[in-house]
Amino acid sequence: MQATDNLDQPLGAPALSKLKWRCRRGLLENDLFIARFFERHESRLTVGQAQAMEALMDLSDHDLLDLLLKRKEPEPALAEPGVVDLLRLLRV
């Protein structure tokens, strides 16, 4: 199996639980976006999407909020297709 195949695998329950814990933020606005995302998508979240979410969680609260509110677009280092696709889901 290729590495890209692994990214499309469903995220297991233990990994989902860890990801949800990792996604807790200091700004309520970010938490609202993230909670809505999990309500809509957690049952079909993939390993690749979880990795993209981890990359977004490395941002500061204010930088993340700017991305979620479309005040700015991801920096080139963060603008991988998986992160951009996940950001679209978070913004809806």
**pLDDT of the residue at 92:** 82
Q: With 90 as the cut, is the pLDDT of residue 5 above it?
A: no
Homologous superfamily, domain 11-91: Flavinator of succinate dehydrogenase (1.10.150.250)
**pLDDT of the residue at 1:** 43
Confidence grade of residue 10 (pLDDT, cut at 50, 70, 90)? very high
Angle at 76 between CA 92 and CA 40, to 5 degrees: 20
Cβ of 33: how many Cβ atoms within 10 Å?
19
**pLDDT of the residue at 3:** 56
**pLDDT of the residue at 40:** 96
Give domain limits for the chain: 11-91
Q: With 70 as the cut, is the pLDDT of residue 90 above it?
A: yes
**pLDDT of the residue at 39:** 97
Each residue's pLDDT tens digit, 32-83: 999 999 999 999 999 999 999 999 999 999 999 999 999 999 999 899 999 9
56 exposure class (CB count in 10 Å sphere: 0-12, 13-18, 19+)? buried
